[in-house]
Chains A and B, each alone.
Chain A
């Protein structure tokens, strides 16, 4: 029957089965490809993937007498994983932080004040339709450093869509709740802080969750353009050499990164908005 509920056990078993099937399919495919061409690197075997992972996590070449040879911390930074994850993580978090902060301020102002809405709504809806990857060249010219370009790409990539989502969320706050807050003696600022923001907080967190995927797309696209560290750069460099045994672990890392952030945000939502446990 449509929408018949499934037990938690059935859900876990089915989910695990899907992952196992995917891995088994990959194993069969890579073994077959390897039989046809033992030097193939496009669909590497598990052992080759293991070598790729080792390459990612091992300490890089250390020049005697250099800072890396003296400092443990500096030596860790020669590992691709550490260098790339810290560079990409920094760009992603800074971009997300700026984008979300801008979107929250803009969305709240637009939802609360009709004149602000009238001013910002047309350009925002236009900007939301422009694919940020298409304006990469603009950021490339306008920003001064490579990191700035990546951060701007993420921030401006997510801002219009998220601001629109927040603004629509604010518009959905029942007027009665706002009127009631005023009858309870709230000031305008208190209505925004204590009523509207609290009411749309789950939607903001949901918005961030939904924007993690696009933000990573924008960031990888920006990193793909140049630079030396970062997941996008590494994937570009390694895929040029057809080193898919290094590229696939990076893709898995990206997936894990996104999944981890999503799980953390869901946990944050449960903690900050316990009233939303049954769905807002």
Chain B
């Protein structure tokens, strides 16, 4: 199904509502993600982050609203309602197939994507050649995430951090339009967590270099986390999903569900940047108040300023071309927060 034009926007949630029986979970969730961003989604426990993620993956389509993905080379965004290879996912648990080695886990995607059961059964010589290529690609990618020596290990023989690296490589080999990370580092120790955060920042740096060359950034990430410091450190933008918002002011008699109450760009960190969370103290305080505090019930639009920030030329990293384009064209400064302004000319 056709959607909006795909000018640098890789993903959009448009008017997403979801309820489990009488229990309203998500209410009018709207956001767009620029290709190459690392967007961190935070929110209180039980606010519907996982429900939203499941809707995006396509396993549990939303009750109302649309999920749109902009595929490379396509002029328009396509609506998605079931899981597909354009959205990779890394879960906190069960991130790998336990019966496959690290290399086989990574090579599984190309196998499933490029061949069928019939091809593998009846065209065995061709399949073997292709399989060899997939295994080589998998080995290269594993080497890139620092696991060149763990190719033959099964998941139960690897540490949690190694498993998550393999899971990320498994998703990356598919070159998804958007990579979804569902609290991927939640079960890891602090050192491993930092290591993986820096790995994400390295991938983001590659995105920035591609954007600087005027190319399409290769990887877009939506990371769901309950750790605010991690969200600010890893992301270039933080989205806050919360049930604590001024729904009475919006004319509702009862809370209609969680919605996006916070959407702002955050400073971009370099892969080797000092991991000093004190620098984020004010931002952290703000997110805690707006997103997590049941006492503060903000107007849902008040802290959703991401697109206005871009129009005011505040974008960093992959967003810089957008910000530059907005300032040179004189857009913005009118107070509009309408999402989805035209992207940079590149």
Contacts and interface: CB of A to CB of B under 8 A. Distances in A.
Is chain B a partner of chain A in the same complex?
A: yes
Interface of A: 174-177, 179-187, 189-190, 193-195, 198-199, 201, 273-276, 278, 280
Contact of B98 (A180, A190, A275): A275
B113 to A, nearest CB: 4
A276 B154 CA distance: 10
A194 B112 contact: yes
B85 A199 contact: no
Contact of B57 (A179, A199, A274, A276): A179
Given A180-B89, A181-B112, A199 B84 contact: no
B301 interface: no
B313 interface: no
Nearest to A193: B117
B179 to A, nearest CB: 10
B174 interface: yes
A190 B98 CA distance: 17
Contact of A198 (B59, B95, B99): B99
B257 interface: no
B109 A176 contact: no
B156 A184 contact: no
Closest 10 CB pairs of A and B: A182-B83, A185-B113, A184-B109, A174-B94, A185-B85, A176-B94, A186-B112, A275-B154, A176-B91, A185-B112
21 contacts: A175-B59, A176-B95, A179-B57, A180-B94, A180-B95, A180-B97, A181-B108, A181-B112, A183-B83, A183-B88, A183-B89, A183-B174, A184-B113, A185-B85, A185-B112, A186-B112, A187-B117, A193-B117, A194-B108, A195-B97, A199-B97
A62 B93 CA distance: 69
A274 B170 CA distance: 21
B83 A199 contact: no
Given A174-B94, A182-B82, A280-B98, 10 more contacts: A176-B91, A176-B93, A179-B57, A180-B97, A182-B83, A183-B83, A183-B176, A199-B98, A275-B154, A278-B156
A108 B94 CA distance: 21
A184 B94 CA distance: 15
A199 B98 CA distance: 8
Query: In this complex, which of B58, B94, B176 has the most chain A Cβ atoms within 10 angstroms of its Cβ?
Result: B94
B93 A184 contact: no
B141 to A, nearest CB: 14
Contacts of B99: 198-199, 201, 273, 275-276
Contacts of A177: 94, 97
Secondary structure call for the B interface: loop
A162 B239 CA distance: 49
| Interface size bracket, B side | 20 to 34
A184 B108 contact: yes
B87 interface: yes
Contacts of A182: 58-59, 82-84
Nearest to A272: B99
Contacts of B155: 275
Contacts of B85: 183-185
A263 B209 CA distance: 58
Contacts of A276: 99
Interface in B74-122: 82-85, 87-89, 91, 93-95, 97-100, 108-109, 112-113, 116-117
A187 B109 contact: no
A185 B117 contact: no
Interface string B269-290: 0000000000000000000000
Contacts of A181: 97, 108, 112
A183 B156 contact: no
Contacts of A179: 57, 59, 83, 89
Nearest to B108: A184
Contacts of B93: 174, 176
Contacts of A201: 99
A43 to B, nearest CB: 50
Query: In this complex, which of A180, A276, A278, A280 has the most chain B Cβ atoms within 10 angstroms of its Cβ?
Result: A180
Query: In this complex, which of B97, B99, B112 has the most chain A Cβ atoms within 10 angstroms of its Cβ?
Result: B99
Given A199-B98, A278-B156, A187 B113 contact: no
A190 B112 contact: yes
Nearest to B176: A183
A185 B174 contact: yes
B156 A275 contact: yes
Given A174-B94, A176-B94, A179-B57, A189 B88 contact: no
A186 B88 CA distance: 13
Interface string B135-164: 000000000000000000011100000000
Nearest to A194: B112
A175 B59 CA distance: 10
Contacts of B176: 183
Interface in B165-217: 170-171, 174, 176
